[in-house]
Amino acid sequence: MSVETGIQLPAPSLRIGAQVILQGDTTHEHIDPATGKVNGLVPMASTEQIDQAVLSARAAFLEWRALPASQRSRKLMKLAELMEQNTELLAAAGMADNGAPRITAGNMVGAAVEWTRYYAGWADKLPLGRITSNGGAGGSFGHTLRQPYGVIGAIITWNAPLMSLAMKVPAALAAGNTVVIKPSELTPFTPTVFADLAREAGIPDGVINIVPGGPQAGAALVEHRLVKKITFTGGPATAQIIAASCAKTFKPMILELGGKSANLVFEDADLDKAAGHAAFFAFGMMSGQACALPTRLLVQESVYEQFIEKVAQAAAQFPIGDPAGEYTMCGPVINQAAIDRIDSMLGDALEEGGRLVTGGQRLGGDLAEGFYYPPTIVADVEPDGSLAQNEVFGPVLAVIPFRDEAHALDIANGTDYGLSGYIWTSDLGRGLRLAESMETGEIAVNGAFNATAERPFGGIGHSGIGNEGGLEGLEEFFWTKSVGIATH
């Protein structure tokens, strides 16, 4: 199919070994979020095709793990190079998938390239073992081995498919594993392009397998006896099902889940800079559809009303509309179900006493056919209210006043989530204290950018288990073996 960029995208397909399969168990109609119209047909993998993909990955694993690490590194470097060369193609896939604006989609490609390069660089540098002891009864020595698991089941979500692929696949492959990827049926184009580029990079058939599908396909992948570890990005409800399934066979897993991240703004902060940041990351970044975004805005009482007005003014400047537009900042949400969820949660928040500052109603006019929702700010939200406790996954910002540092910390730590946290203050001592005390996997002080390949990304509580990014993210794809050898 083609999007308004004029770039032709490959048809969604299953990739099992060397096979490109256009037929699955059923077919899903992909709806373009920007227009509400059918954008393509997605083959949905059957349980038999999941089995075939796993067997393909297992066969390829024996070859891939035996390949010298320097060769794995070169192939992953080539993949990163091809991704960079095909930035427009990957960006077009992102726009077609979920309505990501051109600017956002292009930035995602750049970030995905960096993640791929980062793990390509690690592939031939991580020590695969170490001497642990000498001597012992009868004379012996011991050493440890880092070994790849084998077949990794990777289940990725729809909101940022390319980044999800880049955060999982290069690390798994660098460690010597192979992967079976189950992308969301809502975003089929990016995984298809990614698979084509991986093949062009010389990554052998079967090392990367793509099997779009729904819950039945996901269950078949998680339960397969030859899948040795699961890495999942998505919501806590699905993660609970996956965790229960993995528990039956003690299968390890990485869970990158949701968030309700607090953004603390103190009266001594640079309010203009903080307001621009708050507006961009609540609304301009994927229309609020990302797990780590600062969707709870905590503002010190002395600057509360002033700061809300600054955020509203900043958000009003964001162009909303056609994802292919050169200056579009805010695109659509993913589908009608998202619109319904946002409306319902907003209604609950207003009934609980929240004050609507701006937004609050689906956009009409020229945008009526798509799933467009404007930046929406709800002030005076109670810390234990539904909008403060639950992830909306849309352009809705809950604003909560606080008295002092202790009060802010209490509110910030008052949810089941623990993914990200944001702090704005000119007092770096306060910033360091709060960074240590906030119960989240990552903290950004005064606008620092954390989402880089070099730093681990993960959460606690309902935000997940394990890490992606950094050396920690690579070590997730090894298990450790202890070896003892008698010397005589």
Report d(CA 97, CA 390) in Å as an integer.
26
Phi, psi at residue 122, to the nearest 5°? -80, -20
DSSP designation for 45: P
**Are residue 188 and residue 210 in the same domain, yes or no?**
yes
- Residues 190-195 have a mean pLDDT of 98
pLDDT in tens, 351-370: 999 999 999 999 999 999 99
- What is the structure's pLDDT at 25? 81
Nearest CA-CA partner of 103 in 281, 325, 332: 325
**Residue 349 maps to which CATH number?**
3.40.309.10
pLDDT in tens, 313-354: 999 999 999 999 999 999 999 999 999 999 999 999 999 999
Q: Could you tell me what percent of the chain has a pLDDT over 90?
A: 91
**Are residue 185 and residue 96 in the same domain, yes or no?**
yes
- Structural domain of residue 376, as residue ranges? 262-452
302-314 burial, b for 16+ CB within 10 Å, e for fewer?
ebbeebbebbbeb
Residue 3 has pLDDT above 50, yes or no: no
**Are residue 190 and residue 153 in the same domain, yes or no?**
yes
Report d(CA 143, CA 134) in Å as an integer.
9
Q: How do strand 262-265 and strand 140-148 relate by DSSP bridges? A: unpaired
Structure tokens, 488: 């005589």
- Residues 187-198 have a mean pLDDT of 98
Structure tokens, 96: 């077609």
Contacts for 253 with CB less than 8 Å, ≥ 6 apart: 229, 230, 231, 232, 242, 243, 246, 465, 466
Which residues are designated catalytic?
A: 256
- What is the structure's pLDDT at 318? 97
Contacts for 227 with CB less than 8 Å, ≥ 6 apart: 54, 151, 152, 153, 180, 221, 251
**Are residue 389 and residue 274 in the same domain, yes or no?**
yes
**Is 134 a domain residue?**
yes
- What is the structure's pLDDT at 136? 56
Residue 5 has pLDDT above 70, yes or no: no
| Three-state SS at 485 | strand
Report d(CA 154, CA 78) in Å as an integer.
22
pLDDT in tens, 116-150: 999 999 999 987 667 766 655 566 778 888 999 99
- What is the structure's pLDDT at 137? 58
> With contact defined as beta carbons under 8 Å apart, do 282 and 294 qualify?
yes
Residue 22 has pLDDT above 90, yes or no: yes
**Are residue 340 and residue 440 in the same domain, yes or no?**
yes
Give me the helices (H) in 19-101, please.
47-66, 69-85, 87-98
Greater model confidence, 299 or 214: 299
Residue 1 has pLDDT above 50, yes or no: no
pTM over 0.85: yes
| CA 263, chain centre distance (Å) | 20
Residue 261 has pLDDT above 60, yes or no: yes
Q: How do strand 296-300 and strand 355-358 relate by DSSP bridges? A: unpaired
Report d(CA 315, CA 260) in Å as an integer.
20
Q: How confident is the model at residue 488 (pLDDT cuts 50, 70, 90)?
A: confident
Q: How large is the C-alpha radius of gyration of the chain?
A: 23
Structure tokens, 480: 């450790």
For residue 140, count CB atoms less than 10 angstroms from its CB and return exposed for 0-12, middle for 13-18, buried for 19 or more: middle
- What is the structure's pLDDT at 2? 38
Residue 29 has pLDDT above 60, yes or no: yes
- What is the structure's pLDDT at 485? 87
User: Given CA atoms 468, 375, 341, 294 in this order, what sign does their dihedral have?
Assistant: positive
- What is the structure's pLDDT at 36? 97
**Are residue 193 and residue 301 in the same domain, yes or no?**
no
**Are residue 230 and residue 279 in the same domain, yes or no?**
no
- What is the structure's pLDDT at 41? 96
**Is 180 a domain residue?**
yes
**Are residue 213 and residue 248 in the same domain, yes or no?**
yes
Residue 447 has pLDDT above 80, yes or no: yes
**Is 221 a domain residue?**
yes
441-475 burial, b for 16+ CB within 10 Å, e for fewer?
bbbbbbeeebbebeebbbbebbbbbbbbbbeebbb
- What is the structure's pLDDT at 135? 56
pLDDT in tens, 81-112: 999 999 999 999 999 999 999 999 999 999 99
- Residues 8-20 have a mean pLDDT of 96
Q: How confident is the model at residue 34 (pLDDT cuts 50, 70, 90)?
A: very high
**Residue 90 maps to which CATH number?**
3.40.605.10
**Are residue 63 and residue 151 in the same domain, yes or no?**
yes
Report d(CA 212, CA 28) in Å as an integer.
10
Range with lowest mean pLDDT among 28-42, 43-57, 117-131, 387-401 = 117-131
Beta strands per DSSP E along 184-330: 208-210, 227-233, 253-256, 262-265, 296-300
**Are residue 294 and residue 316 in the same domain, yes or no?**
yes
pLDDT in tens, 378-417: 999 999 999 999 999 999 999 999 999 999 999 999 999 9
In the chain, the number of structural domains is 2
**Is 111 a domain residue?**
yes
**Is 6 a domain residue?**
no
**Are residue 295 and residue 242 in the same domain, yes or no?**
no
- What is the structure's pLDDT at 141? 79
**Are residue 287 and residue 369 in the same domain, yes or no?**
yes
Residue 61 has pLDDT above 60, yes or no: yes
pLDDT in tens, 270-312: 999 999 999 999 999 999 999 999 999 999 999 999 999 999 9
- What is the structure's pLDDT at 398? 99
